[in-house]
Every structure is written in structure tokens, then in C-alpha cells.
Structure 1
Amino acid sequence: MKLKVLIVILMLTAVFSANAQRGVRIGYIDTEYILENIPEYTEATGQLESKVQKWKTEIETSLKGIKQKRETLNNEKALLTKELIEEREEDIFFEEKEILDYQQKRFGPNGDLMIQKRQLMQPVQDQIFQAVQDIAKAKKYDFVFDKSADVVMLYSAERFDMSDLIIRTISRASKRTQAKNKAERRNAKDEDAVIEVNDAQEARQKILDDKKAEREAATAKRKQEILDAREAKKKAAAEKRAKILEDRAKAREEKLKERSGTNDSEETDEKTQDDID
């Protein structure tokens, strides 16, 4: 499924690029990241998690009680009549069924947890969808994908990430909705203007930062090349010096051998002369 979605995206992009006079503008969002940074959602999620833990504790406690009753019944069976045993087993069975029904009511496919999750998610999803629509139209994006959904992101450059912009848009909308008087509404509107200016400044700053990073990378590369050249020269000089020393040592050794040979010859001549005398 994911592969099919990716193929469709690539085909649409190719077709759009072939027919469009300008390049295709593609953006993406990370829904999970956005949700984690919306205070209302994280607060509501925390409250729901507290409920879930309470439900789990209730179920676990009840199931432990059932287990204890079964163990007690097994220990007392020798002292009970068949009718009493069947009666108590039936009571335990119905009690266990009630607990399992309660568990299904809370955690089943159509249980309270799923219902409350949908109720919690739907308003935020609507806000995210609307923010994406507004931003995509305003900034002339051709495609916007969700990184945390089924679309496979083989690569994603950070400059195309709209997640923070979505968070700011939802935050501004929330402030405008909650504004109680003209002053608060005016402040929210002023904040919108400031953020739009900041967005433009961020875009310009991003270009400057990219150029600076390129210059720094080129400078670092050049420095490394100079250092490598120096090291190569040092290594060559050291090798040359070692060769000279080695040649000198060999020459000295050869001279010593020559002298030793001459002395041996002279001693032989003197010995021969002595024998003659």
C-alpha cells in the first residue's frame, strides 16, 4: 500500500513538472510532532491517559479477585457438596463475564477509549487540515504530505517541513477564538502580522545561513587540504632525512670494512716477513 502511494506521488510529480513552467513546490508535515506541541491536545491526552490507567487498575484488581476465588474454591472442594461447588463456579463465571464485558466496553473496537480518542482527535485534525489548506494556498505549494502517515519519506529536507508553521497557525487561531475583547483581538491580529514578517525573515535568514554554511565548508576543506599538504611535505622530508642518515651509516660501515681489510693485509705481510727471517 505504501509503495503504491509513493509511486502515485512520483507519477503526479513527474506529470506536474512536465506541464508546469515553474518547479513543483512540495511540503510535508509531521502530525505526531504537531500534536505533541499543541497544549490543549497534550492536556486532554494526559486526562484520557489517567482514565485509562484507572480502568486498567479496576480490571486488574477484579481479575485478581476472580483468581483468588478460584484458588479458594479449589482448596475447599473436598469439604463442599457438588451443588455448592457448581453454585460457586457459576457465580465466579458470571462475575468474570461481567469483568470481561466491562473490559470490552472500555477497550474494545467501539469502546470508550476509541470513542474518546476520536472525539479528542477530530477537532485537532480539522484544525491541522484547515491550516494546511490555508498555508498551501498562500505559499503556493503543489503537494503537502504527512510524514507520520502511510507516505514513505525516503528523504525530507528540513526547509520543506511545515510542522512548526502549522503549530503557529493553530495557536494564532486559538488565541483569536479565545479573545474576549477588542484589545485581545487586536493583539492577536498584530501577532499574525509579526509572525508573517518573521516567516519572511526566517526564509531570508535560511538563505544566508545556507550560504554561510557553504563558505564555512569550503574554508574548512581548504584548511584541511593545506594541512594535508604540510603533513605530506613533513613526511617526505622525514623520509629523505632518514635515507640520508641510512646512506651515511652504510658509507661509514664500508670505510670501516676497508680499513679492517687493509690492517689484516699488513699484519699478514709482517708475519710472512718474520717467517722468512
Structure 2
Amino acid sequence: MKNIYKFGSILAFTLILIVNVSQAQKFGYVDTDYILSQVPEYAEANGEIDKLSKAWEAEIQEMYKEIQILEVALKAEEVLLTKEMKDDRYKEINRKWDEVKAYQNKIFGFEGLFFLKKKELIKPVQDKVFEAIEKVAKKQRLQIVFDKSGDLVMIYTDPVHDYTDYVLEELGLGDKNDVISNN
């Protein structure tokens, strides 16, 4: 009985091993930074985001300058003002500083307007790229796709597993003169 149990266990283990080997996972990688750099809508979205960011930064800098002018004026007139007048001016300056900081946080803080605008403009492009990656993965029968440009450190990559060109082709951005050969 022990021998039958051993034989059955060995047979089961062998079958599991054969099934696992026959279902070896195929993998590949893409460089999403490179792909995104080739997508015109991504460059347009980044350009719009940069323009908005610079405008907001200039607006905030102007607010800082106005407060600094008030501070310089207060210092120059300080000797002529009563204690109550000085206190009122200091309160006004502190209130303006608080307003600027609140506005800056509203624009550039976590979940601020800058973040939301970036998400609004960039996410559709990223979604389009990720859909193309998914299509390529299914066409090429890949179970795993790595992003070469992400935090994943790839010490060595065999170009045979690089599917970046396939994704560009899927997006209609491939090089017309480049012929992709199937692996």
C-alpha cells in the first residue's frame, strides 16, 4: 500500500511539473517613457500643463511681491505709526501671507488644480497607451509585460523581448520603414 501511495505521489508530482513546464509564461517589456514621447497628444498635454503651471507660478510670485512691498512700506513708515496702526498693518500682512499660502496649496498641493489638470490631460493618453499594450500582450500571448522605464530595475534585457515597437505600431505611430518580425 505504501508503494502505491509513493508511486501515486510521484506520478502526481510529475504531472504537475509537466503541466507547469508546458504552460511556461511568456513575458516581454516595453518602454512607456519612449512610447509616450512618440505620442503627439502627450506632448500637447505636457505643453498645456507647463503653460498653466508657469501662469500659476507667475500669479503666485506677483502675490508674494505685493506682500513684500507692503512689508517694505511698513518698515519705512513704522516710526510714524501708532502701535494700533502697526498691529493692524501686521495683521493685514499676515492675512495676505496666509491667503497666498492657501492659494498656492489650492493650486500645487496634493489634489490641487495642477494635479487635477495634469490627470485630466495625461490620463486619456496613458489609457490609450495601456490599451495598446494590452492588445499587443494578447496578440503576442504574453502573460507578463514589464515597463522598462518604471521603478523596475532591469539589469539586462534581451531585445527579443522588447515589445515597444509593437505598441507604437498598435497606436499607429510605428516607423513605416521598420519591419517587425515575429519572435
Q: Secondary structure at the match of 2:171?
A: helix
- The corresponding residue for 1:89 is 90
**Deviation at 1:160?**
2.0
> d(CA) in 1 for partners of 2:76 and 2:116?
43
> d(CA) in 1 for partners of 2:68 and 2:172?
50
Residue 4 of structure 2 corresponds to residue 26 of structure 1: no
CA offset digits 1:79-100 (Å, max 9, x no partner): 1111111111111111121111
Query: Aligned pair count?
Result: 167
- The corresponding residue for 1:43 is 44
> d(CA) in 1 for partners of 2:159 and 2:35?
15
**Deviation at 1:125?**
2.4
Relative distance call for 1:164 and 1:82 in structure 2 (3 A) is same
Question: Are 1:106 and 1:113, in contact at CA under 8 Å, matched by a contact in 2?
Answer: yes
Q: Secondary structure at the match of 1:145?
A: strand
Question: Are 1:17 and 1:24, in contact at CA under 8 Å, matched by a contact in 2?
Answer: no
**Deviation at 1:18?**
8.3
With structure 2 as the length reference, what TM-score do the two structures score?
Answer: 0.79
Unaligned runs of 5+ in 1: 1-15, 173-191, 208-277
More helix by share: 1
Unaligned runs of 5+ in 2: 1-16
Question: Are 1:26 and 1:142, in contact at CA under 8 Å, matched by a contact in 2?
Answer: yes
- The corresponding residue for 1:203 is 181
Residue 77 of structure 2 corresponds to residue 76 of structure 1: yes
- The corresponding residue for 1:108 is 109
Q: Secondary structure at the match of 1:74?
A: helix
> d(CA) in 2 for partners of 1:55 and 1:92?
21
- The corresponding residue for 2:124 is 123
User: Counterpart amino acid of 1:33?
Assistant: Y
**Deviation at 1:105?**
0.9
User: Counterpart amino acid of 2:110?
Assistant: P
User: Counterpart amino acid of 1:70?
Assistant: E
Relative distance call for 1:159 and 1:79 in structure 2 (3 A) is same
CA offset digits 1:61-88 (Å, max 9, x no partner): 2112212211221121111111111111
- The corresponding residue for 1:163 is 164
- The corresponding residue for 2:3 is none
With structure 1 as the length reference, what TM-score do the two structures score?
Answer: 0.54
Deviates more, 1:100-109 or 1:87-96: 87-96
Structure 2 counterparts to residues 1-277 of structure 1, below 5 A: 19-21=20-22, 24-171=25-172, 201-203=179-181
> d(CA) in 1 for partners of 2:152 and 2:180?
28
CA offset digits 1:169-215 (Å, max 9, x no partner): 1237xxxxxxxxxxxxxxxxxxx9xx7xx87x4327xx9xxxxxxxx
**Deviation at 1:32?**
1.4
The two structures, once aligned, show a CA RMSD in angstroms of 2.7
> d(CA) in 1 for partners of 2:61 and 2:18?
58
Question: Are 1:17 and 1:23, in contact at CA under 8 Å, matched by a contact in 2?
Answer: no
